Amino acid sequence: MDYNRRIQKVKKMMEGKADYLIVGPSSNMLYLTGFVEEPMERPILLVLGDRDFMLAPRMYMEQLSDLPIELQTYNDGEDPYSYLNLRKGASLVVDDSLWSAFLIEIVNRFLPSNLLRGSVLMKKLRAIKDREEIEIMMEGLGIAEASFHDLINMIKEGETECEVGRKLEMIFAEHGVVPSFSTISTSGPNTSMPHLRCTDRRIRKGDIIIVDFGVKYRGYSTDTTRVLSLGSPSKEVMEIWSIVDEAVNLAEKVQFGLSGREIDNIPRKLIEEKGYGKYFIHRTGHGIGIDVHEDPYISSDNLEVVERGSTFTIEPGIYIPGRFGIRLEDMVIMNEKINRMNSLSRELYVI
Amino acid sequence: MDYNRRIQKVKKMMEGKADYLIVGPSSNMLYLTGFVEEPMERPILLVLGDRDFMLAPRMYMEQLSDLPIELQTYNDGEDPYSYLNLRKGASLVVDDSLWSAFLIEIVNRFLPSNLLRGSVLMKKLRAIKDREEIEIMMEGLGIAEASFHDLINMIKEGETECEVGRKLEMIFAEHGVVPSFSTISTSGPNTSMPHLRCTDRRIRKGDIIIVDFGVKYRGYSTDTTRVLSLGSPSKEVMEIWSIVDEAVNLAEKVQFGLSGREIDNIPRKLIEEKGYGKYFIHRTGHGIGIDVHEDPYISSDNLEVVERGSTFTIEPGIYIPGRFGIRLEDMVIMNEKINRMNSLSRELYVI
């Protein structure tokens, strides 16, 4: 990856908009420098402006010796902010996920005149993937799909939801990858809660199971959802599943040129026409790359055209509280039209 | 856990200091409400002030039905901040790890007169553990130590550092727990970089291996470091190891009443006397609980007395760049004196 090119690109975008860009340990830091660390209470800050440098605890000195920009270290117990030297009253662009603790120290000390969200600059830059990024994501997706395939035959009646999720995460580990987010594996009535991870509920005959899973591979994320049924699915499940599957199909036929809002509206309209509009309680999808959720968002508040080279999910769902929910999720890329990245069948897996 | 009592306690601490406390999806949210989610671009905010409530996307409604306080939901595409209704010019206490993206929206909209770091309030509250918390941590530590024991006999010459780390994480998964942080497993000269996670370097006869590992168990974290040697360790390794081990021993003899700075200084002084002062490049330890790193910090900038009931690490190290490093880390609790929480031997494991 050409980090210097990325840094110069973002500096160009800052011109006339902001004096400094401040990036914490995040996917943006990884994107711009190749280095990332878990966020923690010691500040690690990439600062672009009149002086471009990385501020980090001294203990990182050896580890950061081949950083693409200047390194400024501080000792434990020293005041790290004294090294920032930001001009008072400047305009700052701040990494979206930078901890507020650091921003508060910076604001209280350097009294900036203006604070902008880092995504304003970074989202366009990161949404459009180059060939190397797409190849990595396709490889990661292949591993995630192979892992899911292994899992299908290993799910047993009487197991808890969390046991199923852990099994999949162990298969990931055997493949040398980690989950890109805590696997969602819910069953029966729990499937109507789209972001519930798992519970100790035991899977019984007749249950459907939603598995929403992804891996982190060479810094990039995957995200896919499939539905299984332990024994034959009911007529109602089949009906709802068919509608959601059709909604995904429709969205995946989209040609280049539509906004996030317009793409979001395609499966939504279908689900509304079928009478389930009020049970589709989230957006249609989200961009994916280093982060599991990033630009472009396929939602009603994104009025911008989804650019060529963007990778994102299509994941409509119908959730009937207390009964069950169905969501199907593919990863796609916008070229002249939407192309599917997944090769895994979207069928209702009967086990 | 009695969440209402915790909420009332923190509100009491806010009196006269701040009008609002704003908490994001974090360990503080878990501590105050029992609910936590991974941080993401959709705001989930616990707001304490003239009205106490949780702001969350509508898709969480069912999942959050037994929250200890009022729930306010918003739809995807709606403006979540319109529900906050903060008084202009108020004084805000903001969760340390809240994403800057949310703080920037709040600052630009409600123009607070004063921003304070959430840790100001939360650190005292969370540093002192109750009996239930300590029991959970001891159970988690037992699982982490048993996992490390399983690992010892499974390390083979020619394996890469990352393979060793993944092995341990798979053993965690078999025990039904996840890592509390990316396992550090470095070998040979790489051990001189204290926060390097792992590389593809293959482990050879004569190498030392540092394993810094922890698990997340029922919401609480553990953190321990041990050193192994593949074949007999060199005289120099033995010498450095003995100094670090003695430094841990000295620190673990501390009686109640010392500040973080004073405790930090005990192993530091010993290592300085032995002539390795400049190679001890980090603080002596950090508090641990829900977060791997939390108050109290055992470092030169913590002038406060370490309170009874605090749990923290003791982890001095000596790192000789290009050669090797040794760190040993125990978890301890401050009672009338420091008591060790680990039962795992701190020996230099020769395999």
**Domain residue spans of chain A:** 3-126, 128-350
- pLDDT value at residue A18: 95
- pLDDT value at residue B1: 81
User: Which chain A residue lies closest to B189 (C-alpha atoms)?
Assistant: A62
CA angle B6, B127, B49 (to 5 degrees): 35
What's the mean pLDDT when you consider all of chain B? Answer: 95
How many Å separate Cα A151 from the centre of its chain?
23
Q: Which residues pair with B339 in a beta bridge?
A: B333
Are B299 and B283 contacting, i.e. CB atoms less than 8 angstroms apart?
yes
Q: Do A293 and B196 touch (CB under 8 A)?
A: no
What percent of chain B has pLDDT above 70? 100
- pLDDT value at residue B120: 87
- Is the ipTM here above 0.85? no
CATH number attached to the domain at A3-126: 3.40.350.10
**Both tokens assigned to A209:** 């199971």
Rounded distance between C-alpha atoms, residue A94 and residue A103, angstroms? 8
Which tens digits make up the pLDDT trace of B160-181?
Answer: 999 999 999 989 988 989 999 9
Are A38 and A112 contacting, i.e. CB atoms less than 8 angstroms apart?
no
Reported CATH class of domain B3-125: alpha beta
- Sign for the pseudo-dihedral over CA of A320, A321, A324, A329: positive
Are A326 and A218 contacting, i.e. CB atoms less than 8 angstroms apart?
no
Distances (CA, A) of A8 to A14, A33, A131, A156: 10, 12, 20, 53
User: Which chain A residue lies closest to B42 (C-alpha atoms)?
Assistant: A293
Question: Residues in chain A with pLDDT < 50?
Answer: none
- pLDDT value at residue B8: 95
Rounded distance between C-alpha atoms, residue B324 and residue B318, angstroms? 9
Residue A159 Cα, gap to closest chain B Cα (Å):
13
Q: Do B170 and A173 touch (CB under 8 A)?
A: yes
Residue A26 half-sphere exposure, CB side, CA atoms within 13 Å? 25
Which tens digits make up the pLDDT trace of A81-111?
Answer: 999 999 999 999 999 999 999 999 999 999 9
**Both tokens assigned to B178:** 């996840």
Are A185 and A165 contacting, i.e. CB atoms less than 8 angstroms apart?
yes
Query: CB atoms < 10 A from the CB of B280, how many?
Result: 22
Instruction: For chain B, give the number of residues.
Output: 351
With 90 as the cut, is the pLDDT of residue B220 above it? yes
Tell me if residue B164 falls in helix, strand or coil: helix
Q: Kind and range of the H or E element at B248?
A: helix B235-251
Q: Do A195 and B105 touch (CB under 8 A)?
A: no
CATH number attached to the domain at B128-350: 3.90.230.10
DSSP string of B7-39, one letter each residue: HHHHHHHHTTT-SEEEE-SSHHHHHHHS-----
**Both tokens assigned to B302:** 């913590």
| Helix axis angle, B161-174 to A161-174, nearest 10° | 160
Query: Which one of A27, A104, A111, A200 makes the best mutation probe of the B interface by having the most chain B beta carbons within 10 Å?
Result: A104
What percent of chain B has pLDDT above 90? 91
Query: How far is the first Cα of chain B from the last one, in angstroms, to the nearest whole number?
Result: 43
Instruction: For chain A, give the number of residues.
Output: 351
Query: Which one of B104, B168, B177, B186 makes the best mutation probe of the A interface by having the most chain A beta carbons within 10 Å?
Result: B104
**Both tokens assigned to B347:** 């020996």
Query: Which one of B58, B99, B279 makes the best mutation probe of the A interface by having the most chain A beta carbons within 10 Å?
Result: B99
Q: Which of B58, B293, B319 faces A40 most closely, judged by CB atoms? A: B293
**Both tokens assigned to B333:** 């609790």
Q: How confident is the model at residue B2 (pLDDT cuts 50, 70, 90)?
A: confident
DSSP string of B46-92, one letter each residue: EEESSS-EEEEEGGGTTTTTT-SSEEEEE-TTS-GGGGT-PPTT-EE
Are B3 and B66 contacting, i.e. CB atoms less than 8 angstroms apart?
no
- Sign for the pseudo-dihedral over CA of B200, B203, B208, B214: positive
* B300 interaction partners in chain A (CB closer than 8 Å): 76-77
Are B293 and B258 contacting, i.e. CB atoms less than 8 angstroms apart?
no
Query: CB atoms < 10 A from the CB of A194, how many?
Result: 22
Burial of A246 (0-12, 13-18, 19+ CB in 10 A): middle
Rounded distance between C-alpha atoms, residue B209 and residue B188, angstroms? 7
User: Which residue blocks in A153-259 are alpha helix, DSSP H?
Assistant: 161-174, 235-251
Q: Do B300 and A76 touch (CB under 8 A)?
A: yes
Which tens digits make up the pLDDT trace of A293-306?
Answer: 999 999 999 999 99
- pLDDT value at residue B42: 87
- pLDDT value at residue B76: 81
Q: Which of B103, B169, B195 faces A100 most closely, judged by CB atoms? A: B103
**Both tokens assigned to B36:** 């936590």
Closest CA to B109 of B79, B83, B88: B88
- pLDDT value at residue B32: 96
Rounded distance between C-alpha atoms, residue B69 and residue B23, angstroms? 14
Closest CA to B60 of B46, B72, B47, B69: B72
What mean pLDDT is predicted for residues B142-153? 97
Rounded distance between C-alpha atoms, residue B11 and residue B13, angstroms? 5
With 90 as the cut, is the pLDDT of residue B62 above it? no
What mean pLDDT is predicted for residues B292-314? 96
Query: How far is the first Cα of chain A from the last one, in angstroms, to the nearest whole number?
Result: 43
- In the numeric block, the tokens 């929480």 are attached to B341
Rounded distance between C-alpha atoms, residue A136 and residue B307, angstroms? 49
